Amino acid sequence: MKLRYLKFFCTSLIIICFLGCSKSKQEYATMLIHGGTIYTVDSTSVTVEAVATKDNKILFAGSLEEAETYKNKQTKVLDLKGKTMTPGFIEGHGHFMGLGYNELNLDLMNTTSYQAIVDAVAERVKTAKPGEWITGRGWHQSKWDSMPSDVVNGFQTHHLLSEVSPDNPVYLKHASGHAGFANAKAMEIAGLTELALDGLKKYEVEGGEVLVDALGRPTGVFNERAQTLITQHIPERTAESDIKAFELAVKACHKNGITSFHDAGIPKETIGLYEQMKSDSKMNVRIYAMLTGWDKDLLNDWYKRGVMIDNDHLFTIRSVKLNCDGALGSRGAWLLEPYTDRPDHFGHETLPMEFVKETAISGLKNGFQVCSHAIGDRANREILDRYEIAFKKYPEKTQDLRFRIEHAQHLHPEDIPRFAELKVIPAMQAVHMSSDRPWAIDRLGEKRIKEGAYMWQTLLQSGVPIVNGTDVPVEPINPIASFYASVSRKTLKGTPDGGYEPDQRMTRTQALKSYTLDAAYGAFEEKIKGSISVGKLADFTIFDKDIMTIYENEILDSKVVMTIFNGKVVYNAEK
């Protein structure tokens, strides 16, 4: 009997000790968030009442009552006061340093006329030293309220710009980044003012062209790879300006609720900068970087080195970016049929398809994802063809490829199902539809627009995820604008009623997922972020309105009011 009681006592003691130890080992939260609508993007629960975090990880997501069991005196309690929280938004395709430098240089994103560009440059000339380069980005002739009287192939000429900047070379990139506009001084430095002596009507370089007038004189517009004729003469950026641009880009991300960023093509120098920023504890956005495909030596070095997956989840390199055609706005997108508004022109193959095939094969052999820029239907088809060749050559390496096509803006109907068949991810920026659709029909015509442009829902229904984003600085980084475009298919002015090709719009659930979990999937990171799930990174975006339920016309009035990165509040609109 005594032995039985002794056994009972020991068993009870073990249970008590286990429970006590379990309770003592139960982690307490460093932050407890509640008081608003919390969308998890987790299949187990659409919304939760509260989230508890421990340092930079999610400790609990569920009821407030249970969440409070993780609270102690040190726990910071954040009351949302009716606001809406989602997983941290992920910019699925952008140019991080371009975002930063857009803050430093002339930002022409909101200019609505050629005269507005001229005025902006004239103002900058007042403070510039003679001979100092003036650079900027963001103009887009198809978005202007009116066009100047003097145009060549739909573009302005340099004369007005040159008049206000006679002593300063000027180079202004098109919003798309696929064309640029130079003044006479810049062309003089580049040795291009004598083109007229050739009597040319068209001046082509491999993968691009210099637009010339009827007398063979350069108009100042340089399309696609012809831009290098000018850009090679622009002074190199400094280490100081790079750091400043980086810091401005981080700040802009936080203000817009962006906690992760897919950086679409970076060179060796930028890799060094990012490593320095991480070492200096300034890497306060998670960067998933693509190696620029322009530098073959860089690619070969990294093929030997192998992918770099950061255990801190701050700076990862495991993909390659190839620029394979241009943009619709500059008529550089590579098409199967000629442009409707320029019948002698098919766009540009800006990178040999043989190199795309070689890179796809090298990517497979060395474990690198390949992400190819393609806007026109021919570029998309040619890239899918090259991917398929590589997949068939190394079928044993095709289990989890996640090769991507960046933009996938205009597709031939026959190629749409190939994305799912080949398991290729389309990384599409919904805001491009909003900005481009009103004039894109002039480039492609109604039939091609309706059958193959911005085909979000058709692609989703075929079984592939879509990675959303803005292509900043082509468009502002604001994810609300892209979310609105995703679900409305309208311009940011709310037109037309019913939206363009409304059958292709996303549901709000799809749109949110494209900016969170699907974007994480596009970077092999869905297990560590993209949803509010236990064990994942504590990155959150907080909006002043419930973007999932408010009336459609209220979405653009929504604002990011707080951003939490790595378990810490990094942006608060109220402070």
Q: What is the DSSP string of 2-40?
A: HHHHHHHHHHHHHHHHHHHHHHHHSPPPSEEEEEEEEEE
Q: What is the pLDDT of residues 188-240, one digit of tens each?
A: 999 887 655 455 555 767 888 888 888 888 999 999 889 999 999 999 889 99
Q: Cα–Cα–Cα angle for 234, 144, 97, nearest 5°?
A: 35
Structure tokens at 223: 């399309």
CA distance 351 to 178: 13
Structure tokens at 347: 């766009």
Query: What local confidence, expressed as pLDDT, does residue 363 receive?
Result: 97
Q: Cα–Cα–Cα angle for 469, 472, 318, nearest 5°?
A: 65
Between strands 155-156 and 170-174, the pairing is unpaired
Query: What local confidence, expressed as pLDDT, does residue 200 receive?
Result: 54
Q: Cα–Cα–Cα angle for 402, 468, 449, nearest 5°?
A: 100
DSSP class of residue 234 equals S
Query: What local confidence, expressed as pLDDT, does residue 3 receive?
Result: 47
Query: What local confidence, expressed as pLDDT, does residue 194 receive?
Result: 63
* DSSP characters over 508-539: HHHHHHHTTHHHHHTTT-TTTSSS--TTSB--
Alpha-helix residue ranges (DSSP H) falling in 394-429: 416-422
* CA 50 from centre of chain: 30
Q: What is the pLDDT of residues 355-385, one digit of tens each?
A: 999 999 999 999 999 999 999 999 999 999 9
Q: How far is CA 375 from CA 61, 78, 168, 208, in A?
A: 40, 43, 34, 16
Q: What parts of the chain have a pLDDT lower than 70?
A: 1-24, 194-202, 204
Query: What local confidence, expressed as pLDDT, does residue 202 receive?
Result: 59
Which of 172, 161, 160 is closest to 135 using CA atoms? 172
Q: Is 360 exposed, middle or buried (0-12, 13-18, 19+ CB in 10 A)?
A: buried
Bridge partner residues of 218 (DSSP): 212
Which of 360, 356, 354, 275 is closest to 312 using CA atoms? 275
Report the CATH fold assignment for 104-231. Answer: Diaminopimelate Epimerase; Chain A, domain 1 (3.10.310)
Alpha-helix residue ranges (DSSP H) falling in 146-183: 159-164
